Amino acid sequence: MSDQDTPQSDAPQEETPPPTPPPTPPPTTGSSDSSNRGVMIVLSYLWILALIPLLVDKDDKEVQWHAKNGLVLTAAEFALWLVFNLLAATGIGCVFLVFLPIIFLVFTVIRVVAIVKGLKGERFVIPGLSQYVDKF
């Protein structure tokens, strides 16, 4: 066999670098923050849907507070609606039915403000209502 039969390469061979490993997920800590906290806070102020975060996310105290606050707000809205409708049924309260859409709008604005503050990590304390949150 001659020297011509054996391949010789005088050029330096390039080594391909090993592939980079995928990024590791962030470590899970033992904190009570849930991964879907924002969704749970939004659900907390959507009327009867406040039961979902109340029953599902029991470890997160902040979500629990918002869920209870949303349920108290729902109860107040329902009670006010019931009173207005009972007054309207008597015949003397038909004028009150004119104010029912305004009341609904006020409650909707309160819910939106509570959701926005909740997503920022704050609490929206509703005077006269939020004091009942800590009672249950």
Write down the domain spans for the chain.
37-135
**How far, in Å, CA of 116 to CA of 44, rounded?**
12
Helix (H, G, I), strand (E, B) or coil at 76: helix
Cα dihedral across residues 128, 131, 135, 136: positive or negative: positive
pLDDT at 79 over 80: yes
pLDDT at residue number 49:
85
Per the prediction, the chain carries an average pLDDT of 76
pTM of model > 0.75: no
pLDDT at 85 over 60: yes
Whole-number percent of the chain with pLDDT over 70:
73
pLDDT at residue number 30:
39
Calculate the alpha carbon distances from 111 to 90, 106, 133 in Å: 30, 9, 15
